[in-house]
Amino acid sequence: MELAEPPRPTDRLAGRVVPYWMLVDGITSLLLAVGLWAFARPWLADNWRHWSPGLDYALLGVSGGLLAMAAVMPTLSYARWRYGFLGDLLLMRYGVVFVEERAVPVRRMQHVDLMRGPVERLFGLATLVVFTAGNEGSAFRVPGLPLERATELRDRIVQMRGDGRL
């Protein structure tokens, strides 16, 4: 007897989440790389007697790797991210190296928020934040949604819970 394939979410994030992630991850990686060279490298070179020019190349490789990941990972993450509703379940599938699948019943959702930072607003995006009952993973996010879609999902969850009129 063959087991049935579990349902998979099919909705995608907005495509403009890729340049948004690239910008945010790029700035973070650049700040880390500058910090490595401006603070960590001088301290290590002065205080560690085994420091050598070869380690400068290793540090350069780490800095370059951070920047390369900021350029590549957003596209890979976007390709893997899926979400959607199946009945009263919010399904999500995401992750590049470690893939996580979640099926969260609406009845376990405590409240739902929309987050929009300044850079997200610049890209016309929002993040749906859902808080659930329990400890493990009691909050989760669906990033990279157009504001209209995030609002629609929030309103749908609130209506399904019967928490009020919209």
Domain ranges of the chain: 17-78, 82-161
Question: Is residue 81 very low, low, confident or very high in pLDDT (cuts 50, 70, 90)?
Answer: very high
Minimal CA–CA distance to 77: which of 103, 97, 102? Answer: 97
Return the pLDDT at 96.
94
In 3-state terms, what secondary structure has residue 81?
Answer: coil
Question: Is residue 151 very low, low, confident or very high in pLDDT (cuts 50, 70, 90)?
Answer: very high
- Residue type at 76 in one-letter notation: L
Using one digit for the tens of pLDDT, what is the confidence trace for 112-126? 999 999 999 999 999
Which residues are 112's β-sheet partners? Answer: 130
Domain 82-161, second-level architecture: Roll (2.30)
